[in-house]
């Protein structure tokens, strides 16, 4: 019973981290139609930034600076947003395919830096001893889960607010008809940059959360399959453009992903060594099924109704 509860806490904590990533992608893809295939890069940059800022000093990598977690989280969001602004300034006024291609380039650079720049990131050995938000209470797991869910709640509220605001409306206009949006005098590049940086900051926050929850990070954790592909499947399954859909997608797909782990562990031993590949294959097929049968996702994005001005009626 206790083991099951502990697993449930672990499951929900990870679902929460994925929910943050999916909410970040929703601003970029769901709201604005920008294809970011380098989610892993922003996630990793956030994780390493927070790890370096908050961990105790260690000669194996830069820092740590032993700063409070709040500083680590804010730093993670800032660095991810700055990276997004730099790459966005080059690619966002080109067609969306180019952004997708450029974003895998960014992910590749980040991956190589994590692996090779030992003075900065500790190389393949990564960073250990990253402080957790709650330590030594006896209820660490559940309390950390509360912190994660709190962050998800804050980001969800911010996303919803942005969606209803005129800012979100302009993003949708750019997504659906950029020429018309520009004809209305909207600087589409500026709006896209803001949305791209906003989404990346949320992904950076997810990275910081991951680092400070797990307490240990290494380049392997930021494999594009887990950090990029799964998040895309989550958002598309849940419903692009819909924040509740993003949350639901993260929960459902994380459930499917974890469920396949259970299922595969019951298969013959020869297959179990290949379990990772089999799971990726299943998720790849699942994505195609969703795209064919229900491309709008479980909860399709529905923009709020237009604001009716009572006095003019």
List of residues 6+ apart from 266 with CB closer than 8 A: none
Q: Which is nearer to another protein, 9 or 237 (CB)?
A: 237
- Per CB under 8 A, 226 contacts another protein: no
Tell which residue, 178, 187, 218, 221, has the closest CA to residue 17. 221
Site string for another protein, 293-312 (x = CB under 8 A): --x-----------------
Q: How far is 15 from 253, CA to CA, in rounded Å?
A: 9
Which one of 82, 214, 225, 252 is in contact with another protein (CB under 8 A)?
225
List of residues 6+ apart from 43 with CB closer than 8 A: 21, 203, 204, 206, 207, 210, 222, 227
How crowded is residue 68: how many other Cβ atoms within 10 Å of its Cβ? Answer: 11
Tell which residue, 198, 225, 190, has the closest CA to residue 77. 198
For residue 276, the minimal CB distance to another protein (Å) is 8
Q: Choose the stretch contacting another protein; rule: CB under 8 A; options: 61-69, 131-139, 270-278, 300-308.
A: 270-278
Q: Which is nearer to another protein, 33 or 72 (CB)?
A: 33
Q: Choose the stretch contacting another protein; rule: CB under 8 A; options: 161-169, 229-237, 251-259, 298-306.
A: 229-237
For residue 135, the minimal CB distance to another protein (Å) is 37
- Per CB under 8 A, 285 contacts another protein: yes
Q: How far is 86 from 96, CA to CA, in rounded Å?
A: 16
- Per CB under 8 A, 267 contacts another protein: no
From residue 281, how far is each of 11, 141, 257, 263, 297 by CA, in Å?
Answer: 22, 32, 11, 14, 20
Q: Which is nearer to another protein, 96 or 258 (CB)?
A: 96
- Per CB under 8 A, 97 contacts another protein: yes
Q: What b/e string do you get for 195-204 counting C-beta neighbours within 10 Å, with b at 16 or more? A: bbbbbbbbbb
From residue 60, how far is each of 106, 119, 132, 201 by CA, in Å?
Answer: 25, 7, 20, 27
Which one of 10, 11, 65, 98 is in contact with another protein (CB under 8 A)?
98
Site string for another protein, 47-86 (x = CB under 8 A): ----------------------------------------
Task: Give the helix ranges, DSSP H, for the chain.
Answer: 2-25, 39-54, 69-91, 96-116, 118-121, 140-164, 166-176, 178-183, 188-214, 224, 230-238, 243-265, 269-272, 275-293
Which one of 78, 264, 278, 298 is in contact with another protein (CB under 8 A)?
278
3-class DSSP state of 297:
coil
Residues 112-131 that bind another protein (CB under 8 A): 112, 115-116
- The footprint of another protein on this chain (CB under 8 A) covers a number of residues equal to 41
- Per CB under 8 A, 33 contacts another protein: yes
- Per CB under 8 A, 283 contacts another protein: yes
- Write out the residues near another protein by the rule CB under 8 A: 33, 35, 37, 90-91, 94-98, 100-102, 104-106, 108-109, 112, 115-116, 224-225, 229, 232-233, 236, 274, 276-278, 280-281, 283-285, 287-288, 291-292, 295
């Amino acid at each position: 019973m206790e083991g099951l509860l502990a697993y449930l806490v672990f499951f929900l904590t990870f679902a929460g981290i994925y929910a943050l990533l999916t909410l970040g992608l929703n601003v970029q893809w769901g709201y604005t139609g920008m294809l970011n295939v380098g989610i892993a890069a922003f996630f990793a940059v956030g994780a390493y930034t927070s790890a370096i800022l908050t961990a105790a000093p260690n000669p194996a990598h830069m820092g740590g600076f032993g700063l409070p977690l709040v500083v680590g989280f804010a730093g993670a969001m800032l660095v991810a947003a700055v990276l997004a602004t730099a790459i966005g300034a080059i690619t966002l006024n080109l067609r969306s395919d180019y952004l997708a291609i450029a974003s895998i380039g960014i992910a590749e650079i980040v991956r190589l830096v994590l692996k090779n720049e030992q003075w900065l990131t500790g190389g393949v050995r990564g960073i250990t001893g990253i402080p957790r938000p709650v330590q030594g209470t006896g209820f660490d797991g559940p309390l950390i889960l509360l912190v994660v869910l709190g962050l998800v709640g804050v980001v969800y509220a911010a996303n919803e607010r942005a969606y209803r605001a005129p800012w979100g409306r302009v993003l949708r206009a750019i997504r659906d008809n950029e020429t018309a949006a520009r004809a209305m005098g909207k600087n589409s590049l500026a709006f896209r940059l803001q949305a791209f940086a906003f989404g990346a900051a949320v992904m950076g926050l997810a990275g910081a959360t991951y680092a400070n929850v797990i307490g240990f990070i290494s380049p392997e954790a930021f494999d594009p399959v887990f950090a990029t592909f799964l998040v895309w499947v989550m958002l598309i399954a849940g419903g692009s453009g819909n924040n509740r859909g993003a949350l639901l997608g993260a929960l459902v797909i994380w459930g499917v992903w974890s469920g396949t782990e259970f299922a595969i562990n019951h298969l013959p031993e020869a297959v179990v060594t290949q379990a990772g590949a089999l799971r990726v294959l299943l998720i790849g097929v699942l994505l195609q099924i969703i795209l064919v049968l229900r491309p709008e996702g479980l909860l399709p994005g529905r923009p709020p109704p237009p604001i009716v001005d009572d006095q003019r009626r």
